[in-house]
Amino acid sequence: MIKVKVPATSANIGPGFDCLGVALNLYNTFYFEEIEKGLDIQGCCEEFSNENNLIYTSMKKCFERIGYNFKGIRIIIEDDIPLSRGLGSSAACIVGGVIGANEIAGKVLSKEEILKLAVEIEGHPDNVAPAIFGGMTVAIQDEDNIHYSKINVAKGLKFYAMIPDFTLSTKESRAVLPKEIPYKDGVFNVGRVALLITALTNGEFHLLKTSCDDKLHQIYRGKLIQDFDRIKEKCEEFGSLGMFLSGAGPTLMALDEDKNSKFYDDIKGFLKTLDNKWEVKPLDIDFSGAMVL
Ligand SMILES: Nc1ncnc2c1ncn2[C@@H]1O[C@H](COP(=O)(O)OP(=O)(O)O)[C@@H](O)[C@H]1O
Ligand SMILES: N[C@@H](CCOP(=O)(O)O)C(=O)O
């Protein structure tokens, strides 16, 4: 059986809407096998145990691209990435499916071709690039190509994913975004995304709070997430370096220095007082990206 492990990803990182993302050490593992006929999916809920399963539809697109006629497919899923929480579960399924199919077909596609196909399926490159390559990445698409670059994040940063018990699909969360934004909001974000990247690479972590600010999506999406503002305030009060909406939400991501464990205890205690259940997961950057094991 072919085993593929794909990391979770946190996209946007504040102002980098649809272009910044980071791979984190939380994983989905997929096992693939070509069988005589049909589709056999194991390890996932009934809702996705059918021909519309995103892992399977992504495999089919890959087989189509390569021109490989498969007989049947078995997929076994071990998923630790929570679904529809803004931690890139869909990107992990797409990347896993495309890589799995490419392995079955004889490793025809290069990593760049895998990236291109996975972005075509996902619709934006910010989760897909770090899911494939690991680390933190900038990724953009023009008409024909995906251009990406890795950001060398200075050591010592910890990610705290605050994950609620409710879901918010990316589709729903994109639907509340405006069609147009004021010019000054564009300028606001350009400066912050540039500052964010230099602050991260230079280890100037005191600049993260300001550079995580954004006017393209968080102000619209924050309203969909109960207690968004209160949690943001508390993260600041407890001394986090910065906070942003992870992907399309509803997970919120706080940044802190990895030597400061007090933030974790403080925010965990506060989240317990809220109406919804929130789990806090301390995470680190995954530097490897998707792996065939
Ligand atoms: N383990 C899984 N098995 C099958 N499909 C999955 C799995 N995880 C995620 N998906 C697919 O990804 C979708 C969630 O994607 P999305 O709303 O973009 O949220 P996320 O922020 O988690 O990527 C699900 O509706 C489902 O189609
Ligand atoms: N740039 C996208 C990122 C979606 O990430 P996900 O992890 O929520 O799927 C967006 O903001 O819509």
- DSSP assignment of 161-229 equals EEEESS---HHHHHHTS-S---HHHHHHHHHHHHHHHHHHHHT-GGGHHHHT--SSSHHHHGGGSTTHH
What is the rounded CA–CA span in Å between residue 161 and residue 25?
11
What is the rounded CA–CA span in Å between residue 215 and residue 181?
9
pLDDT for the residue numbered 143:
85
Closest-lying ligand 1 atom to the alpha carbon of residue 79: 1
Q: Which two tokens stand for residue 192?
A: 């912050």
Instruction: Walk me through the domains of the chain, giving residue ranges and CATH numbers.
Output: 2-151+288-292 (3.30.230.10), 157-283 (3.30.70.890)
Which contiguous run of DSSP H or E holds residue 91?
helix 89-104
Specify the residue with its C-alpha closest to ligand 1, atom 20.
84
Q: Which residues of the chain have pLDDT under 70?
A: none
pLDDT for the residue numbered 258:
81
What is the rounded CA–CA span in Å between residue 280 and residue 252?
10
Give the pocket of ligand 2 (CB within 6 Å).
Answer: 11-12, 17-18, 86-88, 90, 124, 126-127, 170, 174, 217, 247-248
Among 9, 12, 128, say which to mutate for ligand 2: greatest number of ligand atoms within 8 Å of CB: 12
Ligand positioned closest to the Cα atom of 89: 1
178, exposed or middle or buried, with CB in 10 Å at 0-12, 13-18, 19+?
exposed
Q: Cis link prior to 282 (omega < 30° from 0)? A: no
Nearest to 11 by CA among 119, 155, 156: 119
Q: Cα-atom radius of gyration of the chain, to the nearest Å?
A: 19
Interface predicted TM-score (ipTM) of this complex, two decimals: 0.98
What is the rounded CA–CA span in Å between residue 127 and residue 143?
19
pLDDT for the residue numbered 261:
74
> SS3 for 136?
strand
Q: Are 185 and 177 in contact (CB under 8 A)?
A: no
The single-letter DSSP state of residue 238 is T
What is the rounded CA–CA span in Å between residue 198 and residue 101?
38
Pocket flag, ligand 1, residue 53 (CB < 6 Å): yes
Pocket flag, ligand 1, residue 84 (CB < 6 Å): yes
Q: Which two tokens stand for residue 194?
A: 């540039």
Which contiguous run of DSSP H or E holds residue 246?
none
pLDDT for the residue numbered 259:
74
- For 241-272, letters b (16+ CB in 10 Å) and e give bbbbbbbbbbbbbbbbeeeeeebbebbeebbe
Among 12, 26, 30, 89, say which to mutate for ligand 1: greatest number of ligand atoms within 8 Å of CB: 89
In this predicted model, what pLDDT tens digit does every residue of 231-279 receive, in sequence order? 999 999 999 999 999 999 999 999 999 877 799 999 999 999 999 999 9
* Helix%, strand%, coil% for the chain, nearest 5: 40, 25, 35
What is the rounded CA–CA span in Å between residue 127 and residue 59?
18
Which contiguous run of DSSP H or E holds residue 258?
none
Which contiguous run of DSSP H or E holds residue 10?
strand 2-11
Residue 83 annotated in ligand binding: yes
CA of 17 to the centre of ligand 2 (A): 8
